[in-house]
């Protein structure tokens, strides 16, 4: 059913801008009844059907005419649907409304939130920022006091006090406070969204003018550097650990060894050969020290900073880390990819990093647009009169229910949601069942319920402000109208009974022929020794079927059955066909992953199928012929009614310059 709808939609109208002049586009190339098809409309639909402009310009007049004939038939059907009042049919309009509601929400989120966010994400990720922060955590003091302290520190910084000195004295981030709050380089998608947004709005050297609130606390944020981002680097390294051959820490000895290696490199020695000879990193030394590609912040900080500051082919100075002394060589730099190539990976990262954050903001905006309001009086009444009830039926017996059951709990866009309907919703939602009815639950449930309702309202209005979505809805509407016409005029009129099928079979029985076929059994083993053992047993009189039962593998012919197989499509059947007499069996032979012995059960020479054997094919072909006959009959009736006329001379101008 859906396949038929989709096939209809392939020729539905779409808005495609042609490069031709308005006069060219307005040429009338077909008329039916009081309706016209212009050249511009035809070109738009032709290209929408999956043909490129370059190809369309080369297509023959015959191909264009065939498509135009199909399109005019399609348009006549839509006119017929309008005359039959499909636009007032409750079932069709309900299906159309359901589709709009269902697809509209996804379309709205994708177009108005995700698509622009991905482009913004891509542009941000062209750069990386080095950021410092002063964080005040609220878990040791109250949230209000944490905010008050953070705000006072921000004001002091604005008045000229040293950001770094205040960080060292007050910051709750023990990992960064002794480094002036430095948290190293970030890019979009690597930190929480609130922090990311503030950082990308801040100029180098500036402090963000407001507090940044995250789930960790309150932050004062400073950007210290901005640079073009290198997506990833490929590097090799030579590592000398701090331990000597005796296993004791010998930092001075390690430094002397790495300095000697570095001097050899400066004199032109091959990096890979020295890595193989001296490096104490067992994971990379055999590959000449190669570590492959890695992104920013994957490696330890000292290593990372050196790698991303080297140019391709450059060798670093000696680097000290917790692992020992390193010399690093950058062998390749990965270039940034175009947006279209990066889009799929960006979308995955966006989903993980900030989709939920942006979605919450998107819903808040919709609520503002639709004037969303919670009735605080009703919420307060429920919480005040309830201290024990839980979601799951008790509300309906509560003494205070009748007083507020029809009261408005929240409203938006002229829609009101009453208390009783809201409680029906939460009692059917597993997120809320058996939870105490308190302020937190009411807020969470109102947010969840209103979110879905507001999205639906927005979706139902979308075709009025978005021409692309309006076109999509027109496509679907045309599809369901055509589907109903096809059902009314064709599929429901096909009458099949055995008498008609038998008559059709008798007229066409020569089409239904079995090829030469065989029925067989087989013995199988993965080992040739086992299959040879079976063969010896057969030679001594063992029953084939009894060996097959132990072997647990039969071919098409299982004990007590005779199933015929076309040898052309089956290797084992092909071997069986080589046997002359039913009951005989082959010698062991290699087949696929093992060895087999095949036994011929029967042969069935090529013959015409009986009616019962061919019935499924007969029925399918008969239905197909009837469908075509009824379709042609319906089109003929439409042509008699609308009398279509096609202007081939003007059609020749399609996809050609003026």
pLDDT of residue 9: 37
* SS3 of residue 450 by DSSP: helix
Q: Give the burial string for 5-32 (b: 16+ CB within 10 Å, else e).
A: beebbebbbbeeebebeeebbebebbbb
Among candidate residues 211, 228, 245, the one where a domain is terminated? 228
Q: What HEC string does 413-434 produce? A: CCEEEEHHHHHHHHHCCCCCCC
pLDDT of residue 11: 36
pLDDT in tens, 283-320: 999 999 999 999 999 999 999 999 999 999 999 999 99
Answer yes or no: do 159 and 244 share one domain: no
pLDDT band with cut points at 50, 70 and 90 for residue 13: very low
Single out the residue of 226, 213, 230, 456 nearest to residue 336, CA to CA. 230
pLDDT at 55 over 80: yes
Which residues pair with residue 30 across a beta bridge? 37, 646
pLDDT of residue 31: 96
Among 37-51, 152-166, 244-258, 436-450, the range of highest mean pLDDT: 152-166
Split into its structural domains, the chain has a count of 5
Answer yes or no: do 405 and 422 share one domain: yes
pLDDT band with cut points at 50, 70 and 90 for residue 172: very high
pLDDT band with cut points at 50, 70 and 90 for residue 244: confident
Among candidate residues 228, 256, 271, the one where a domain is terminated? 228
User: 245: domain range?
Assistant: 232-334
What is each CA distance from 213 to 121, 150, 163, 429, in whole angstroms?
21, 10, 18, 31
* SS3 of residue 399 by DSSP: coil
Residues 6+ apart with CB under 8 A from 599: 520, 521, 522, 544, 557, 576, 579, 583, 584, 585, 586
Q: What is the mean pLDDT of residues 259-270?
A: 97
Answer yes or no: do 60 and 16 share one domain: yes
The pair phi, psi for residue 524, each rounded to 5°, is -135, 145
Residue 590 included in any domain:
yes
Answer yes or no: do 224 and 146 share one domain: yes
Q: What HEC string does 506-549 produce? A: HHHHHHCEECCEEEEEEEEECCHHHHHHHHHHHHCCCCHHHHHH
* Assessment of whether the complete model's pTM goes beyond 0.75: yes
Check if the beta carbon of residue 653 is closer than 8 Å to that of residue 56: no
Domain of 521, CATH number, reads 3.10.50.40
Answer yes or no: do 132 and 200 share one domain: yes
Answer yes or no: do 525 and 432 share one domain: no
Residue 345 included in any domain:
no
Answer yes or no: do 307 and 265 share one domain: yes
Residue 502 included in any domain:
no
Answer yes or no: do 377 and 457 share one domain: yes
Single out the residue of 9, 2, 77 nearest to residue 45, CA to CA. 9
pLDDT in tens, 431-450: 999 898 999 999 999 999 99
> For residues 563 and 208, what is the distance between their CA atoms, to the nearest angstrom?
80
Check if the beta carbon of residue 510 is closer than 8 Å to that of residue 618: no
Q: How many CA atoms lie within 13 A of 452 on its CB side?
A: 9
Check if the beta carbon of residue 611 is closer than 8 Å to that of residue 502: yes
């Amino acid at each position: 059913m859906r396949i038929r709808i989709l096939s209809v939609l392939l020729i539905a109208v779409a808005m495609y801008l042609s490069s031709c002049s308005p006069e060219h586009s307005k040429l009338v190339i077909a008329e039916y009844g009081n309706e016209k098809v212009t050249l511009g409309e035809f070109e738009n639909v032709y290209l929408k059907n999956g043909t490129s402009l370059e190809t369309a310009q080369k297509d023959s007049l015959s191909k264009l005419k065939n498509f135009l004939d199909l399109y005019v038939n399609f348009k006549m059907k839509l006119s017929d649907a309008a005359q039959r009042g499909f636009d007032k049919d409750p079932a069709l309009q309900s299906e159309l409304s359901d589709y709009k509601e269902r697809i509209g929400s996804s379309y709205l989120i994708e177009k108005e939130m995700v698509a622009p966010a991905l482009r913004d994400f891509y542009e941000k990720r062209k750069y990386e920022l080095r950021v410092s922060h002063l964080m005040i955590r609220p878990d040791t003091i109250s949230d209000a006091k944490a905010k008050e302290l953070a705000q006072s520190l921000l004001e002091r910084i604005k008045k000229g006090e040293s950001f770094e000195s205040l960080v060292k004295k007050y910051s709750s981030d023990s990992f960064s406070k002794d480094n002036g709050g430095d948290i190293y380089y970030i890019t979009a998608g690597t930190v929480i969204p609130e922090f990311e947004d503030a950082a990308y709005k801040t100029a180098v050297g500036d402090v963000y003018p407001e507090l940044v609130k995250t789930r960790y606390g309150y932050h004062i944020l400073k950007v210290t550097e901005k640079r073009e981002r290198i997506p990833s680097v490929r590097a090799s390294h030579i590592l000398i650990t701090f331990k000597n051959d005796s296993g004791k820490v010998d930092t001075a000895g390690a430094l002397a060894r790495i300095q000697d290696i570095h001097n050899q490199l400066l004199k032109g020695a091959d990096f890979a050969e020295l890595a193989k000879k001296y490096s104490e990193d067992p994971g990379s030394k055999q590959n000449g020290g190669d570590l492959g590609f890695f992104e920013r912040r994957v490696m330890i900080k000292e290593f990372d900073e050196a790698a991303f500051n080297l140019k391709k082919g450059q060798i670093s100075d000696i680097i000290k880390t917790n692992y020992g002394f390193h010399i690093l060589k950058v062998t390749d730099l990965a270039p940034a990819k175009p947006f279209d190539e990066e889009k799929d990976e960006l979308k995955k990262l966006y989903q993980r990093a900030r989709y939920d954050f942006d979605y919450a903001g998107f819903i808040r905006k919709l609520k503002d647009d639709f004037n969303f309001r919670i009735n605080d009086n009703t919420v307060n009444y429920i919480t005040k009169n309830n201290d024990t009830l839980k979601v799951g039926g008790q509300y309906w017996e509560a003494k205070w229910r009748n007083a507020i059951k029809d009261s408005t709990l929240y409203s938006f866009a002229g829609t009101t949601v009453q208390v009783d309907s809201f409680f029906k919703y939460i009692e059917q939602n597993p997120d809320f069942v058996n939870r105490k009815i308190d302020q937190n639950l009411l807020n969470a449930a109102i947010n969840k319920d209103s979110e879905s309702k507001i999205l639906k309202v927005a979706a139902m209005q979308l075709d009025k402000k978005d021409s692309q979505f309006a076109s999509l809805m027109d496509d679907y509407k045309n599809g369901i109208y055509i589907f109903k016409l096809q059902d009314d005029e064709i599929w429901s009129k096909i009458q099949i009974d055995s008498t008609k099928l038998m008559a059709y079979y008798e007229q066409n029985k020569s089409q239904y022929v079995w090829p030469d076929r065989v029925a067989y059994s087989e013995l199988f083993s993965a080992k040739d020794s086992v299959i040879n053992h079976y063969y010896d047993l057969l030679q001594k009189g063992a029953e084939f079927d009894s060996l097959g039962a132990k072997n647990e593998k039969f071919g098409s012919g299982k004990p007590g059955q005779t199933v015929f197989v076309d040898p052309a499509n089956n290797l084992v059947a092909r071997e069986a066909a080589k046997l002359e007499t039913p009951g005989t069996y082959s010698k062991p032979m290699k087949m696929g992953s093992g060895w087999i012995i095949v036994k011929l059960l029967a042969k069935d020479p090529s013959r015409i199928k009986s009616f019962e054997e061919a019935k499924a094919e007969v029925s399918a072909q008969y239905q197909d012929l009837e469908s075509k006959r009824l379709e042609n009959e319906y089109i003929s009736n439409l042509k008699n009614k609308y009398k279509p006329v096609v202007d081939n001379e003007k059609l020749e101008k399609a996809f050609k310059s003026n």
